[in-house]
Structure 1
Amino acid sequence: MHLMTMMELVKPKWYERLLVMLVQGIFFNSYFVCYVVSLRLAHRIVGYLEEEAVHSYTEFLKDIDDGKIVIAIDYWRLPKDATLKDVVTVIRADEAHHRDVNHFASDIRNKGKGIERSSSSNWLS
């Protein structure tokens, strides 16, 4: 949803959208192979990607504070008068959570523990 929101705000051209889809396809397949080979490495990679996303959104928020970005509509059920800053703040929080979960998942794999795959809300073992 983060990518879709940002693409809607940026309004990329058709060839830019195609490039995003190609990169996603390459990443998906590479990540799948990595995940099969090493869960720990896969989660660590996602943790670092999310860490970079947190940094990028922090820089984006600075641009908003400096008046470089306009108001946007929100997906995350913020008030109707929510600004783009509110949206980016929520996205950044999501990315920080994803970063932490993936670093944690990599750490527990390193300690010889696993992730339980069940429908229960307690999915980490």
Structure 2
Amino acid sequence: MSYVRLVFDTATLWKFGLINKEKILNRAIFLETIAAMPGMVAAIIQHFRSLRNMTRDRGMLNMFLKEVNNERMHLLTFIRMKEPGTVFCAAVIRAKFGFGRFFLAAYMINPAWCHRFVGYVEEEACHTYTRILREMEDVPRGSELARWKDKDAPKIARGMVYDEMKAVRADEAEHRDFNHAMSGLPDNAINPLYDPGEKMDVMLKKYVEDMMEKEANKHGENCSCLRRCYCFR
């Protein structure tokens, strides 16, 4: 993991010179572009596994897609702040092509290891955004970074740029914990955050309550009396 961090720091010039707006956006855009891939790979494999085995996905698919969409929204926010150039886009495409092939093959072999790896990557992302926030807090008043942090974030986000960075860091921390938790679950486990059976029970209960409510209103009876009559809870 330290080697991956070293390569990424070198590619984004993170360790060279002062941290400024340009470096922050380059690093954030590159990071969020790559970070949106693991969840989609997991979702695709889960989808085809469900079709192949003719079984339910146990609530995993929606969870992976939710993570992917969250990372995508981070990316859309940052590219509203800076339009990537041709060279930068080419570098991102090459990185995605290489990492995508590696992660797809690895996930087909050992999903638990991949989730653990992504958990460590998200931990590094938390360190990155913590460093960005610290730089914004300690920067001299009147500098470019100081003026930028107090600007309004793009309309796709909320608050100022500084607030957006804090929100992104919180999301990355959630993704870190989620992937570490996923690495410890067996293949046939139900999503602990989204149990389809439990959700179905809630939906059925609400349906029965609504039907009884309509029946009570139709006959002019008190709904609570009808519930007691049917011993419904």
Match of residue 89 from structure 1: 166
SS where residue 108 of structure 1 aligns? Answer: coil
Superposed, 1:29-108 pairs within 5 Å as 29-67=101-139, 68-69=145-146, 70=148, 71-74=151-154, 75-76=156-157, 78=158, 82-108=159-185
Aligned length: 114
Identity of aligned residues (%): 29
The structure with the greater share of residues assigned to helix is: 2
Greater CA drift, 27-36 or 59-68 = 59-68
Report the aligned-residue RMSD: 2.3
- TM-score between both structures, scaled by the size of structure 2: 0.44
What amino acid is the match of 2:179?
N
* 1:105–1:115 Cα contact (<8 Å) kept: no
- TM-score between both structures, scaled by the size of structure 1: 0.77
Q: Distance between the aligned counterparts of 2:125 and 2:173, measured in 1?
A: 8
Match of residue 122 from structure 1: 195
Q: Distance between the aligned counterparts of 1:21 and 1:27, measured in 2?
A: 10
Greater CA drift, 41-50 or 16-25 = 16-25
Q: Distance between the aligned counterparts of 2:188 and 2:75, measured in 1?
A: 29
Q: Distance between the aligned counterparts of 1:48 and 1:3, measured in 2?
A: 20
What amino acid is the match of 2:195?
N
What amino acid is the match of 2:163?
D
Shift of residue 96 of structure 1? 0.5
Say if 1:29 and 1:56 are closer, same or farther in 2 by CA, change over 3 A: same
Unpaired runs of 5+ residues, structure 2, are 1-71, 140-144, 197-233
Say if 1:39 and 1:84 are closer, same or farther in 2 by CA, change over 3 A: same
Greater CA drift, 90-99 or 10-19 = 10-19
Q: Which stretches of structure 1, 4 residues or more, deviate above 4 A after TM superposition?
A: none
Considering only CA atoms, is the larger Rg found in Structure 1 or Structure 2?
A: 2
